[in-house]
Structure 1
Amino acid sequence: MTPIRKEFFRRLAYIGLGIIPIIFVWEQKGPERFIGLAGFIFGMYQLIMIIAMSQLIIDDFFPPKTYGETKTKPFDNFIYRFAPGFFFVGLVFEIFEIRRMDNTIGGTKFFWTYALIGILIAAAVTAILKFKSPSVYFESSRRFTVHFGLFLGFFLIVPATASFVNHYFSDSTINCKEYKIVRKSTGGKRQKSSWLFLQINGHEERFDVSRNLWNNVNEGGLVVLCTQKGQLGYDFVEEFNTVDE
């Protein structure tokens, strides 16, 4: 086994070790929750290191036919430039839709379901490119850029597009219902995000609300969610209100 593969598998094992404390203590509210946080940070560091050496890993598992070209086919050059642009478009679209997904009931499941679909689409597009124009993947740096742009691009743009379709073509009927506030929290840069954790259908759901509403409700109290049925079957919150409104 090559040194690159040894390091790759070693860091994968470290990620697995970091996940273990997250599974067992992440839902705890006491000091032991920091053990889960440490595991998360440790695992993320290992993932970042894998991403940093991802081109070496790809080249080690799937050696390229060349590390440089004197002349590039026009189509290969187009794909090479298109892939990072596609990733950027997906990232921007995701930023615009992230709050809407955060306030979708079952939003976490929604995101990962469509993110997985995005990965599968990227794999299909990659397979088609390899069959129709295999020279796209002959050169090392181009292959890495194309893989990176397509996979991360579809990973981001498919959930964002699904979120847009879900709320833009939703049922116009609005249903309002009271839910119990399990806990409150703040987060994000400079604690600008205001989160409410509600018990919905037996699961704890997190919602991003205005700071004014956050200040006017209490843990253990009630908040009113006015929702609409999305086109893809996921209810999303159109409005938050206090009980007395």
Structure 2
Amino acid sequence: MAEKGDGIASVYGYDLGGRFVDFQPLGFGVNGLVLSAVDSRARRKVAVKKITLSDARSMKHALREIKIIRRLDHDNIVKVYEVLGSKGADLQGKLFKFSVAYVVQEYMETDLARLLEQGTLTEEHAKLFMYQLLRGLKYIHSANVLHRDLKPANIFISTEDLVLKIGDFGLARIVDQHYSHKVRLARTADTGGPCNPQECSVFKRVFLAPVESEDWGQYLGEAGGC
């Protein structure tokens, strides 16, 4: 199995040295491809997101995403263990020296999109997931972060204990609510998720936080029929 998994890593251009084995495709994030793997050093299954650093723009996006995910630590946020460069090298804040970055994060068995493909949620599950989702959003917004791509595919579920975690911060932004200059935040990118029609400035609202919470609270309620 490990040899087959290593072959998959080669197909997708993953080069992390020998520490990670048994790679399997998981999906695509906003800024990169995601494979599952086994971390032989930590002895756990992980998800590894590959971010290609091909130009100044991709470098800027990667730096922003890494800065955000490193500052978030909550039970309802997908945990990031480390960010590595080619051959599994420690980035040590020197992203410009590498052509690729690997975000090693917590492995989650499924996501809300896949669950909904199997049918509507029960009222009990909808309420449980909504509670955890709002806890995660409250924490994210308290850290002055706006996710901007909240959709079922980015809401991950542990099937063993039904823990919900928000992931994929590729479009997220850090916004200072005390900043006095009026700005317009770009609408959610067209990645298949809901697009908020309001364009909220920092003076009028707190980052779109009430809108995100309201939209998804309503969404989960409807999904569960409650």
State the TM bucket, normalised to the shorter chain. under 0.3
Q: Which has the higher strand share?
A: 2
Structure number with the higher helix fraction is 1
TM superposition score normalised by structure 2: 0.25
Q: Could you state the TM-score of these two structures normalised by the residue count of structure 1?
A: 0.23
